Amino acid sequence: MRSEHPAITVARSPEQDGTRSATAVAHPNIALVKYWGKRDERLMLPWTDSLSMTLDVFPTTTRVRLGPAAGRDEATLDGAPATGEALRRITAFLELVREMSGSDRRAVVESTNTVPTGAGLASSASGFAALAVAAAAAYGLDLDATALSRLARRGSGSAARSVFGGFAVWHAGRDAGTDADADRCSYAEPVPTADIDPALVVAVVDAGPKSVSSREAMRRTVGTSPLYRPWAASSSQDLEEMRAALRRGDLAAVGEIAERNALGMHATMLAARPAVRYLSSATVTVLDCVLRLRRDGVPAYATMDAGPNVKVLCHRTDAERVAEAVRGAAPRASVLVAGPGHGARLLSEGT
Nearer to ligand PMV, 193 or 303 (CB): 303
Q: Please answer whether residues 125 and 170 qualify as being in contact, where contact means their C-beta atoms are separated by less than 8 angstroms.
A: no
Q: Regarding beta strands 310-315 and 300-304, do their DSSP bridges make them parallel or antiparallel, or are they unpaired?
A: antiparallel
**Shorter beta-carbon distance to ligand PMV: residue 50 or 60:** 50
Q: Other C-beta atoms within 10 Å of 172: how many?
A: 22
Q: In terms of CB distance, is 21 or 124 closer to ligand PMV?
A: 124
Quote the CA–CA distance of 33 and 239 in Å, as a whole number. 6
In whole angstroms, the minimum distance from the beta carbon of 218 to ligand PMV comes to 7
Among the residues of the chain, which ranges form H helices?
84-101, 123-138, 145-155, 159-162, 179-185, 214-224, 228-247, 251-270, 281-295, 319-329
With a CB cutoff of 8 Å and minimum separation 6, the contacts of 314 are 198, 199, 201, 251, 255, 298, 299, 300, 301, 322
| Closer of 246 and 329 to ligand PMV (Cβ) | 246
Of 20, 27, 10, give the one whose Cα is nearest residue 130.
27
When CB distances to ligand PMV are compared, the closest residue is 31
Rounded (10°) CA dihedral 198, 203, 208, 211: -80
Q: Which of 111, 110, 95 is nearest to 155 (CA)?
A: 95
Taking the complex as a whole, the smallest distance from the CB of residue 250 to ligand PMV amounts, in Å, to 21
Nearest distance in Å: CB 146, ligand PMV: 18
Q: How many CB atoms lie within 10 A of CB 296?
A: 10
Point out which residues bind ligand PMV (CB under 6 A).
Answer: 31, 34-36, 50, 122, 124-125, 156-158, 214-215, 305-306
Nearest to 144 by CA among 7, 36, 260: 7
Is 27:126 a contact under the CB 8 Å cutoff?
Answer: yes
Please give the Cα distance from 22 to 143 (Å, whole number).
Answer: 14
Task: With CA atoms as reference, report the closest residue to 161 among 181, 143, 146, 177.
Answer: 146
Specify the residue, 35 or 58, whose C-beta has the smaller distance to ligand PMV. 35
Instruction: Kindly state the smallest distance separating residue 72's Cβ from ligand PMV, in Å.
Output: 25
Nearer to ligand PMV, 49 or 318 (CB): 49
Q: How far is the CB of 114 from ligand PMV (least distance, A)?
A: 17
Q: Name the minimum Å distance from CB 158 to ligand PMV.
A: 3
DSSP H or E segment with residue 239: helix 228-247
Q: Give the nearer residue to ligand PMV in terms of CB position, either 78 or 216.
A: 216
Beta-bridge partner residues of 349:
22
Q: How far is the CB of 153 from ligand PMV (least distance, A)?
A: 9
Closest separation in Å from C-beta 185 to ligand PMV: 18
Name the residue nearer to ligand PMV (CB basis): 140 or 341: 341
